[in-house]
């Protein structure tokens, strides 16, 4: 089955402040995550939502954490002030529907298909204000913003592969994010078709590179980012993701 909407694929990469961690966000067909990235940081609040509930029964949702059935039966599962024990694989199922694909917690190498585009963002623990943000790829300067803006990599090629990270100032301290490895590779037509045939609706993938204060809690999808979903980019969505015009981050 083809995606309902077509357009450029976007992968978001965000980086944060403190002892840093890599976050990856991806949604399965039934299970969504808010905020829409993984991993999350310690003491973050996270809400998982189980979608497509066709049952008229209330409280008919079943949740699993690391294959263990949880006592929660509502459509949403709230993780308040997340701790390391909350890491692992999450699935859900509504009455009359199939078991969702997993959302799991871990850091990993992200895969982007050649010709696709992705965003990189520096993200701080507890959303602290980050200033004087500098992005790097393979240890080389990529982009500087006095305020914390995204950078955009358009029409990615294999030369955009590498290790990304950022530095930024929080109050009077300079922090460095953890490293995020991104691999850009070519995609075959057969492989492309196999990635999308099961999709029922379109949700963008998000990668977050973040400064994690103290211990990071990592969430990612089992599919990693090898499943990149096609979305139709509107002016409004561009403004939300990219708040001001920014030059493309070109290769050195």
Tell me the pTM. 0.45
Task: Assess whether pLDDT exceeds 90 at residue 140.
Answer: yes
* Residue 10: how many other CB atoms lie within 10 Å: 23
Print the SS3 string covering 134-179: EEEECCEEEEEECCCCCEEECCCCHHHCEEEEEEEEECCEEEECCC
Confidence of residue 189 (pLDDT cuts 50, 70, 90): low
Angle at CA 165, nearest 5°, toward 164 and 169?
160
Indicate the fold that domain 10-39+101-241 takes in CATH. Answer: Immunoglobulin-like (2.60.40)
Residue 180 pairs with which residues in a beta bridge?
164
Token pair 């966000």: residue? 25
Which band of pLDDT confidence, cut at 50, 70 and 90, is reported for residue 200?
very low
* Residue 148 token pair: 């914390």
The pLDDT tens digits of the residues spanning 159-188 come to: 998 888 899 998 888 888 888 878 888 865
pLDDT band at 40 (very low <50, low <70, confident <90, very high): low
pLDDT of amino acid 88: 86
Q: 51 and 92 in contact (C-beta within 8 Å)?
A: no
What average pLDDT is seen over the chain?
A: 67
**Alpha-carbon distances, residue 172 vs 25, 115, 118, 175 (angstroms):** 30, 39, 30, 10
Residue 24 has pLDDT above 70, yes or no: no
SS3 96: coil
Hey, what long-range contacts does 83-89 have (CB within 8 A, 24 or more apart)? 83/42, 83/43, 83/217, 84/42, 84/215, 84/217, 86/46, 86/217, 87/39, 87/217, 87/218, 87/219, 89/64, 89/65, 89/222
Highest mean pLDDT among 46-55, 191-200, 208-217: 46-55
| Lowest-pLDDT choice from 31-35, 143-147, 199-203, 209-213 | 199-203
Which pair of tokens denotes residue 244? 């001001």
Residues forming a β-bridge with 209: 22, 122
Lowest model confidence (mean pLDDT) among 6-10, 64-68, 135-139 = 6-10
For 45-59, the pLDDT digits (tens) are: 889 999 865 656 678
Say what percent of the chain tops pLDDT 90: 13
pLDDT at res. 137: 92
pLDDT tens for 71-90 read 999 999 998 887 778 888 89
- How many helices, marked H, and strands, marked E, lie in the chain? 2, 21
Domain range summary for the chain, segments of one domain joined by +: 10-39+101-241
Question: Does 7 or 98 have the greater pLDDT score?
Answer: 98
- Residue 155 or residue 216, greater confidence: 155
Give the DSSP letter string of 13-72: EEE-SSS-EEEEE---SSEEEESS-SSEETT--EEEEE------STT--EEEETTEEPS-
Joined together, the tokens standing for residue 111 give: 């895969």
pLDDT tens, residue by residue, 89-128: 899 998 878 888 888 755 445 677 888 888 887 877 777 7
């Amino acid at each position: 089955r083809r995606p309902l909407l077509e357009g450029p694929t976007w992968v978001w990469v965000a980086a944060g402040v403190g002892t840093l961690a890599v976050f990856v966000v991806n949604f399965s067909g039934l299970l969504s995550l808010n905020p829409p990235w993984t991993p999350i940081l310690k003491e973050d609040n996270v809400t998982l939502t189980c979608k497509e509930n066709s049952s008229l029964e209330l409280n008919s949702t079943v949740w699993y954490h690391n294959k263990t059935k949880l006592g929660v039966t509502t459509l949403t599962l709230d993780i308040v002030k997340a701790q390391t024990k909350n890491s692992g694989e999450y699935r859900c199922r509504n009455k009359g529907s199939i078991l969702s694909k997993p959302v799991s917690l871990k850091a990993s190498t992200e895969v982007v298909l050649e010709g696709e585009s992705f965003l990189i963002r520096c993200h701080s623990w507890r959303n602290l204000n980050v200033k004087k943000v500098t992005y790097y790829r393979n240890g080389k300067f990529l982009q500087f913003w006095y305020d914390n803006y995204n950078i955009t990599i358009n029409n990615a090629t294999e030369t955009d592969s590498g290790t990304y990270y950022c530095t930024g100032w929080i109050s009077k301290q300079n922090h460095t994010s953890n490293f995020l490895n991104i691999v850009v590779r070519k995609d075959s037509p057969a492989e492309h078709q196999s990635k999308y045939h099961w999709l029922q609706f379109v949700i963008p993938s998000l990668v977050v590179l973040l400064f994690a204060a103290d211990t990071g809690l990592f969430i990612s999808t089992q599919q990693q980012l090898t499943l990149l979903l096609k979305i139709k980019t509107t002016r409004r969505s561009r403004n939300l993701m990219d708040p001001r015009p920014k030059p493309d981050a070109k290769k050195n």
